[in-house]
Amino acid sequence: LTTNRTTILEEAFNLEVPIKIPPPCPPRLGLDVTKYCRYHQSIGHNTRDCLALKDKIEELIQAGYLA
């Protein structure tokens, strides 16, 4: 991908692409509270570094929702 995952997620929301957002993860000790993932709606990692979101974006591309 040439665009960061955060931008792709925002654009997908704007286009009303059917993205099933996972339920928020409960906070755990040791997580980096300065990082927030909009896809997971929880702390611990940034949206741009989210591997699950990377896989979801690839799935949406294959399904024809994103180009």
Q: Nearest Cα to 52, choosing from 67, 38, 62?
A: 38
From the first residue on, what is the mean pLDDT of each consecutive set of 10 residues in the chain (67 residues)? 85 85 79 90 90 91 86
Query: What are 22's two structure tokens?
Result: 């996972």
Question: What local confidence, expressed as pLDDT, does residue 46 receive?
Answer: 92
User: With a threshold of 0.85, does the pTM exceed it?
Assistant: no
CA–CA separation, 1 and 21 (whole Å): 21
DSSP one-letter string for 1-59: --S-HHHHHHHHHHTT----PPPPPPP-TT--TT-EETTTTEESS-GGG-HHHHHHHHH
